[in-house]
Structure 1
Amino acid sequence: MEKFEAVLTSLSNLVWGPHLLILLIGTGVYLTFRLGFIQVTRLGFGLKEAFLPKQKTGAEAEKQKKQRGDISHFQALMTALAATVGTGNMVGVATAVVLGGPGAIVWMWLSGFIGMATKYAEAILAVKYRVVDERGEIAGGPMYYLEHGLKKKWLGMTFALFAAIAAFGIGNGVQTNSISMALNTSFGIPMLVTGIVLMVLTGFVILGGVKSIGKVVGIFVPVMIIGYVGGGLVILIMNFELIPSAFATIFSSTFSAEAIGGGALGAAIRYGVARGVFSNEAGLGSAPIAAAAAKTDFPGRQALVSMTQVLIDTLIVCSITGLTIVMSGQYTSGLQGIELTQASFAYFLGPIGEIIVTVSLVFFAFSTVIGWCYYGERSVYYLLGEKAIVPYRMVYIVVAGLGAMTTNLNLIWAISDVFNGLMAIPNLIGLLFLSGIVVAETKRFELERQKELRQAA
């Protein structure tokens, strides 16, 4: 088993080597320029569509009722956020700062910025090439735009296989183990009890399908994000005088002659970009599966909403974590992972700070379990059809419990890292070769927006 883990670890390092990070960032940069920096010019509209949608009446309301989709723009965004806002926002950021220095935060921000364009492209293709399955539900994602857009079904099947397997690891076992370990450490709750409770809660939510998931996360996700960000904002406001020096530390450790000469710049880029991608999943192809289920009239409308996910996940939630860690100075203490984040919050807020991080971790991780189940079942449906969905859900529920009860997750981490990376490759190929379709759909929706503005005037 140790040899098998060593092989998987080597494979993970190979998959997540510089070539994949360059492909991820390169695709985002390419799409950013082709779309005219859409993450800047249309971000406001995306936020408005997600959180302040215009109430339609009369003929417009009837037209809206007939739109294809299972959940609203907001619920689709929350489902994607449920899957991405997880341990990476606390554990991943802490790891990046320890391994790459405070300067890693800059590269996390940059990867998030260009990742918004990638997320936009994924969503626009997911909606354009989605289909209605035999149960009357919407099915979409990279596997469908690889098959119907790129005309490469084998690539779609490859993506679906990798995604279905990855869901058990990074989307399930890793998350539930983080929950049980945190509750056991902070509150003494036995891991067996946590595992049983998580199995029941996971089953209760996911057996109802995407509509049930959408309703739950539509309430659940905003509350958990506001709670964690609220705690972080209290720290920033109470210690406002430390913010300028924190930014100075972050930027100086990134671009100083010492950092460049000592090789710290390379470490900062590697870990900042990698943890940013792990956090927001831009380019992996997971979030467009949720975007495809949204009720919308134009692919571009939902794509702009989906783009805001990276803003919330990386540029807000991860930034709160990063700034708190740097301001506290705890990253030089030898602590790592969740312990570093807990210590940083506790440095300013005392014991309540550790509790905020622990409780947030529980909610963040559980939301990831819910969101990734939908990704996994959509993938297995593409491969095997409707008959595979219920068995997949049942196995997923069992894995949630087992993950919470085990004390050794090295194998699950290694497997999930490998398949997460493998997911990205066919998806990025699709994004690059279908970028012309993305641009055309963007122009088509822009014409519609201009029409809406004229009618409103």
Structure 2
Amino acid sequence: MINDIVSSINNILWGQGQILIYLLLFAGCWFSFKLRLIQLRHFRYMFTVMKGSTQSNKSGISSFQALCTGLSARVGTGNLAGVAMAISLGGSGAIFWMWIIALLGMATGFAESVLGQLYKVRDEHKEFRGGPAYYIRAGLNKPWLAICFSLALFLGYGLTFSAMQANTIADAINNTFAISPIYSGAVIVVIAASIVIGGLRSIARFAELIVPFMGLAFVATAIIITLLNIELVPDMLVDIFTSAFGLNEAGAGALGAAIKHGVQRGLYSNEAGAGSVPHAAAGASPYPNHPVAQGYVQMLGVFLDTIVLCSCTAVVILLANLNISGEMEGIGMTQDAMAVHLGSGGNYFVAAAISLFAFTSVVANYAYAESNLHLFKLDNKLGRTLYTGVYLAMVFWGANATLKQVWGLADMALGLMTLVNIYAITLLTPTIVNLTQDYLTKLKQGKSMEFSLKDVKIQGKTEPGVWS
């Protein structure tokens, strides 16, 4: 019965109704228009703002740690298993639509991260917390909607997403080493517990060490594979673009599948508009000390996740010239492709990569849901202990569940979060635009970039003391 309910909701959100596909395209176009294509106009500045990004204070993590934490959650199964799933169900053309939703999503990610920074609060340890529930409550004065988002977040990031990441790790290890998911699941739980028990700062330090290393290693491997198969690249690019518009032999029947699965997996990978990354953005003490600075940082995260890392996986798969069956395939397809290029060592490389990619998501997901405990007055030892216990139990369950069960629940939770979040950030557009104009004016005039509430008209109110 639960599977039937989940399938029915997903069919409305992602299936025949395709509500979220239209909603995400609208949000990307809306914020690209309102912010005057900031993701293209300020593409170079997006990298420049990372100067001084390692600075932090006792209230918040550094901007670089916030970027790595955001990438920890983004860079996971969506980059390896999700891309394979998009190609297996939507053909090579799905990659083009994954790029499009990423370019549009950069503006959406900018908007929601700015709000996460502006409406952040301090918890009982005087550390920054925030996210959509906080800017819905403070900016829109809709506490009931904030609770709805938080419940969807707990279902997604607190429960099913980490279960799905554990499922992919266990599957990859089982495919490569024939180790039972029961044992790999237990190991994942023990290691995750040792990290998450230290809270956001511990997770941020872990992300800061692991994410750059694993990202660079994966990109370098994809570049080497591309250079070794350089003569096949032109045909691969032609196939991506013709398939994206239904112009190849598969015909128009494949067009809808390419758009649907490209957008769906693109969102799942970069999370732009889903309301997850604002939690990492809110936890930072930005440099310069202005909410818009974190908008640029997390916009860069969308670019690195989808345009860079997902493209690397797509290149590896498409250059392997595997048979695309039309049936759902996951990490096994990526492993098969890597084995074509690197021999038997390819399986080991993917198993190691997916284990690192997915594990960083497991611990970052914990931080996102944990940030919302403050909203329910559960930001204490008892609340954290109960949440941690349920979270670790779901991680172990996920390692032993079936692929469709886990991905179905994850898609539903992500869809419900996205519905609420896009509604909220659209209503808060005037605040986003005013903040951005304030930042750009100060940047152009060479003034101090320090944010002051008296300089900008905002909706609702911020927590006293945060920006004074």
**TM-score normalised according to structure 1 size:** 0.92
Deviation track 1:400-426 (CA, whole Å, cap 9, x = no partner) reads: 23322x243544433322121111111
Distance in 1 separating the partners of 2:23 and 2:207: 32
Q: Secondary structure at the match of 1:136?
A: coil
Q: 1:7 aligns with which of 5, 8, 12?
A: 5
Residues 260 and 436 (structure 1), Cα distance of their counterparts in 2 relative to 1, 3 Å cut: farther
Distance in 1 separating the partners of 2:200 and 2:223: 33
Residue in structure 2 matched with residue 354 of structure 1 by the alignment: 347
Structure 1 counterpart of 2:6, which letter? L
- Describe how 1:200-219 pairs up with structure 2 within 5 A: 200-219=190-209
Residue in structure 1 matched with residue 127 of structure 2 by the alignment: 137
Distance in 2 separating the partners of 1:53 and 1:42: 18
Identity of aligned residues (%): 36
Residue in structure 1 matched with residue 278 of structure 2 by the alignment: 288
Q: Secondary structure at the match of 1:332?
A: coil
Structure 1 stretch displaced more, 249-258 or 270-279: 249-258
Unpaired runs of at least 5, structure 1 = 56-63
Residue in structure 2 matched with residue 99 of structure 1 by the alignment: 89
- Describe how 1:307-456 pairs up with structure 2 within 5 A: 307-332=299-324, 336-387=329-380, 388-404=383-399, 406-408=400-402, 410-452=404-446
Residue in structure 1 matched with residue 68 of structure 2 by the alignment: 78
For these two proteins, the number of residue pairs brought into alignment is 442
User: How far 1:134 sits from its partner (Å)?
Assistant: 2.1
Distance in 1 separating the partners of 2:249 and 2:124: 57
Does structure 2 retain, via aligned residues, the 8 Å contact 1:170–1:417?
Answer: no
Structure 1 stretch displaced more, 260-269 or 177-186: 260-269
Does structure 1 retain, via aligned residues, the 8 Å contact 2:80–2:313?
Answer: yes
The reply to whether residue 45 of structure 1 matches residue 39 of structure 2 is no
Residue in structure 1 matched with residue 148 of structure 2 by the alignment: 158
Structure 1 stretch displaced more, 363-372 or 13-22: 13-22
Distance in 1 separating the partners of 2:314 and 2:405: 28
Distance in 1 separating the partners of 2:69 and 2:163: 19
Distance in 1 separating the partners of 2:406 and 2:88: 23
Deviation track 1:309-344 (CA, whole Å, cap 9, x = no partner) reads: 111110001001112222221143678221211111
User: How far 1:448 sits from its partner (Å)?
Assistant: 2.5
Distance in 2 separating the partners of 1:137 and 1:78: 18
User: How far 1:307 sits from its partner (Å)?
Assistant: 0.3
Q: 2:260 aligns with which of 270, 275, 281?
A: 270
User: How far 1:205 sits from its partner (Å)?
Assistant: 0.7
Residues 73 and 91 (structure 1), Cα distance of their counterparts in 2 relative to 1, 3 Å cut: same
User: How far 1:453 sits from its partner (Å)?
Assistant: 8.0
- The two structures, once aligned, show a CA RMSD in angstroms of 2.1
Residue in structure 2 matched with residue 303 of structure 1 by the alignment: 295
Distance in 2 separating the partners of 1:194 and 1:340: 21
Distance in 2 separating the partners of 1:408 and 1:337: 12
Does structure 1 retain, via aligned residues, the 8 Å contact 2:236–2:318?
Answer: yes
User: How far 1:279 sits from its partner (Å)?
Assistant: 0.6
Does structure 1 retain, via aligned residues, the 8 Å contact 2:89–2:326?
Answer: no
Residues 256 and 151 (structure 1), Cα distance of their counterparts in 2 relative to 1, 3 Å cut: same
User: How far 1:184 sits from its partner (Å)?
Assistant: 1.9
Residues 186 and 135 (structure 1), Cα distance of their counterparts in 2 relative to 1, 3 Å cut: same
Does structure 1 retain, via aligned residues, the 8 Å contact 2:58–2:127?
Answer: no
Distance in 2 separating the partners of 1:454 and 1:437: 20
Residue in structure 2 matched with residue 199 of structure 1 by the alignment: 189
Distance in 2 separating the partners of 1:331 and 1:170: 31
User: How far 1:378 sits from its partner (Å)?
Assistant: 1.2
Structure 1 stretch displaced more, 38-47 or 434-443: 38-47
User: How far 1:182 sits from its partner (Å)?
Assistant: 1.4
Residues 257 and 402 (structure 1), Cα distance of their counterparts in 2 relative to 1, 3 Å cut: closer
User: How far 1:143 sits from its partner (Å)?
Assistant: 0.6
Structure 1 stretch displaced more, 161-170 or 372-381: 161-170
Does structure 2 retain, via aligned residues, the 8 Å contact 1:381–1:389?
Answer: no
User: How far 1:260 sits from its partner (Å)?
Assistant: 9.0
Residue in structure 2 matched with residue 34 of structure 1 by the alignment: 34
Deviation track 1:145-167 (CA, whole Å, cap 9, x = no partner) reads: 11111121111111011101112
Which structure dedicates a bigger proportion of its chain to helix? 1
Does structure 1 retain, via aligned residues, the 8 Å contact 2:39–2:107?
Answer: yes
Does structure 2 retain, via aligned residues, the 8 Å contact 1:159–1:423?
Answer: yes
The reply to whether residue 180 of structure 1 matches residue 175 of structure 2 is no
Structure 1 counterpart of 2:345, which letter? I
User: How far 1:259 sits from its partner (Å)?
Assistant: 6.8
Does structure 2 retain, via aligned residues, the 8 Å contact 1:169–1:413?
Answer: no
Distance in 2 separating the partners of 1:377 and 1:237: 43
Q: Secondary structure at the match of 2:191?
A: helix
Q: Secondary structure at the match of 1:70?
A: coil
User: How far 1:54 sits from its partner (Å)?
Assistant: 7.5
User: How far 1:256 sits from its partner (Å)?
Assistant: 4.9
Distance in 1 separating the partners of 2:92 and 2:259: 11
Does structure 2 retain, via aligned residues, the 8 Å contact 1:160–1:383?
Answer: no
User: How far 1:193 sits from its partner (Å)?
Assistant: 2.5
Does structure 1 retain, via aligned residues, the 8 Å contact 2:39–2:103?
Answer: yes
Q: Secondary structure at the match of 2:60?
A: coil
Does structure 1 retain, via aligned residues, the 8 Å contact 2:175–2:332?
Answer: no
Does structure 2 retain, via aligned residues, the 8 Å contact 1:32–1:117?
Answer: yes
Does structure 1 retain, via aligned residues, the 8 Å contact 2:159–2:395?
Answer: no
Q: Secondary structure at the match of 2:274?
A: coil
Distance in 1 separating the partners of 2:131 and 2:249: 41
Structure 2 counterpart of 1:401, which letter? F
Unpaired runs of at least 5, structure 2 = 450-468
The reply to whether residue 108 of structure 1 matches residue 101 of structure 2 is no
Deviation track 1:241-291 (CA, whole Å, cap 9, x = no partner) reads: 211111011112223545795322111111111110011111100000110
Does structure 1 retain, via aligned residues, the 8 Å contact 2:242–2:248?
Answer: no
